[in-house]
Amino acid sequence: MSVQFDTWQDGAATVALGCREDGKFAATVGGVVWSIPRQVGKTYTVGNLLIALAIELPGLRVVWTSHHGRTTTNTFRSMQGMVKRKQVRPFMPPGGGVRTANGEQEIRFANSSIIMFGAREHGFGRGMDAVDILVFDEAQILDIKALEDMVPATNQARNPHGGLIFFIGTPPRPVDNGEAFASKRERALSGEAGDMFYVEMAADPDADIDDREQWARANPSFPRRTPVESMLRMRENIPDDDSWRREALGIWNPKLGAGVLPAPSWQDCEDTESVAVDRIALGVEVGPDLAWASVAIAGQRADEGWHFELDDDQHTRGRGTAWLVPHLQYLTANNPKIRSVVVDVAGPVAALLEKRNDRYFFKGSNIQATPVKVAELGAGCANVLDGIVTGWLHHIGQPQFTAAALAAGKRALGDTGMWVWSRKLADSDITPIQAATLALIGARAQSQNVRKPTRTGRGRRVVTW
């Protein structure tokens, strides 16, 4: 094909296609996972690799999917140029084999192999079957729902070497739905992934980000393939240091893991003197097996910023849920500032609720619960992320709350683009961050939508936090 790979490309491609003694791809289970900065040459590498495989293996079915339609189109155009080379043309059918009609982007080969392209944001890939190779480009924006939709397509791979899945991307931004990519990295770095080929090209985590030796460490194409002026152009147009570390140097936040909230931002929002003085609301969340429950408090500060925290009195969070309703009775009876007790009635807390006159109450009490709608919950989770990243939301640094917040992953809400905290990827109980999110929703809600809990025990002292 007259394609020359540099040393890193030759090595990475060789290992990606490595087979075990039975002839199956060694990475057929865990996949090929590459965390690569921009301007390295991953499209050239993987694109030419797939074309060669399509030529060598008749009837090969390949799917290349990016998150954004524009990225998919750019990749498709690049690979059109690759198959138009004179050395490749003899393997193409009459007319060149490139199809763009009816929104379908395909490259077909004379031996019935095919490479199909599509964007996940447009729902591409659902319902496909007998896919031999699946490429998740922009893997930093890849949620569990996309995996559920597309990975089963490789279950009936007809290639004798088995199915193979590529995950290729840059380190996710804090706002990216990158839990799948982060989870792959965590598994690889744990040392327990004997069926995955993981490559991470990155500068040293504590590197001087303008050190050109570190640029070369992160990008093996620099300076031969990617000249200095290209890197300088990126540096000029990506002035934010955090973005530059991710996009150009491939550096992951070492504490981000499979979670959503970036640890440095969480630490920046810690204020041990922070306190809510107005619009105080409670949030209640229960674990899926009713083994854990959490109560959280949120409200507005005197400086008009926002605050949330875990109500971590020794009686307010522990095994089981028997303590929960009595404690809520105590809190609501002693603090008239509480404007609502917010719950997700579609979650496990439903086991503790009952309906009376179309309103939700905690069983055996007069505590009225304010339910959230799915859209409100999705918006609330996004608000927490925004508040932590941009600095308008504060906490007091409680260890249990911090552990839960940094462990929580994402679960997509269908095709809405919204998400909620995920228990699936969390290493520990995440009910504290879930409860705190519900409390913040109640605190920030418009007054006319707030349902104040019914109170008893008048005349008792006000609880302060």
64 contacts 71 by C-beta, under 8 angstroms:
no
User: For residue 426, what pLDDT band results from cuts at 50, 70 and 90?
Assistant: very low
φ, ψ of residue 385 in degrees (nearest 5): -60, -45
| pLDDT greater at residue 155 or residue 462 | 155
User: Does the pLDDT of residue 395 top 60, yes or no?
Assistant: yes
φ, ψ of residue 441 in degrees (nearest 5): -60, -45
- Spell out the SS3 assignment of the chain: CCCCCCHHHHHHHHHHCCECCCCCECCCCCEEEEECCCCCCHHHHHHHHHHHHHHHCCCCEEEEEECCHHHHHHHHHHHHHHHCCCCCHHHCCCCCCEECHHHCEEEECCCCCEEEEEEHHHCCCCCCCCCCEEEECCHHHCCHHHHHHHHHHHCCCCCCCCCEEEEEECCCCCCCCCHHHHHHHHHHHCCCCCCEEEEECCCCCCCCCCCHHHHHHHCCCCCCCCCHHHHHHHHHHCCCHHHHHHHCCCCCCCCCCCCCCCHHHHHHCECCCCCCCEEEEEEEEECCCCCEEEEEEEEECCCCCEEEEECCCCCCCCECCCCHHHHHHHHHHHCCCCCCEEECCCCHHHHHEEEECCEEEECCCCCEEEECCHHHHHHHHHHHHHHHHHCCEEECCCHHHHHHHHHCEEEECCCCCCEEEECCCCCCCCHHHHHHHHHHHHHHCCHHHCCCCCCCCCCCCCCCC
| Least confident range of 52-56, 230-234, 404-408, 436-440 | 404-408
Q: What is the mean pLDDT of residues 329-346?
A: 92
- The per-residue pLDDT for range 272-308, each reduced to its tens digit, is 999 999 999 999 999 887 878 899 999 999 999 999 9
- The per-residue pLDDT for range 227-250, each reduced to its tens digit, is 999 999 999 998 788 889 999 999
User: For residue 425, what pLDDT band results from cuts at 50, 70 and 90?
Assistant: very low
Q: What is the mean pLDDT of residues 145-163?
A: 85
User: Does the pLDDT of residue 255 top 60, yes or no?
Assistant: no
Tokens in use for 177? Answer: 């739905």
Q: How far apart are CA 31 and CA 147, in angstroms?
A: 13
Domains belonging to the chain, first-starting first, are 7-247 (3.40.50.300), 263-449 (3.30.420)
pTM given for the model: 0.60
User: Does the pLDDT of residue 462 top 50, yes or no?
Assistant: no
Q: What is the pLDDT of residue 423?
A: 62
User: Does the pLDDT of residue 256 top 50, yes or no?
Assistant: no
| Least confident range of 110-114, 256-260, 440-444 | 256-260
User: For residue 429, what pLDDT band results from cuts at 50, 70 and 90?
Assistant: confident
Q: What is the mean pLDDT of residues 12-24?
A: 95
Q: How far apart are CA 16 and CA 111, in angstroms?
A: 23
User: For residue 104, what pLDDT band results from cuts at 50, 70 and 90?
Assistant: confident
Q: What is the mean pLDDT of residues 88-102?
A: 88
User: Does the pLDDT of residue 344 top 90, yes or no?
Assistant: yes
376 contacts 446 by C-beta, under 8 angstroms:
no
| Least confident range of 47-61, 86-100, 362-376, 415-429 | 415-429
Tokens in use for 197? Answer: 């080929």
| pLDDT greater at residue 207 or residue 315 | 207
Q: Please, what is the average pLDDT of the chain?
A: 87
User: Does the pLDDT of residue 184 top 70, yes or no?
Assistant: yes
Q: What is the pLDDT of residue 460?
A: 34
User: Does the pLDDT of residue 317 top 60, yes or no?
Assistant: no
Q: What is the mean pLDDT of residues 255-273?
A: 80
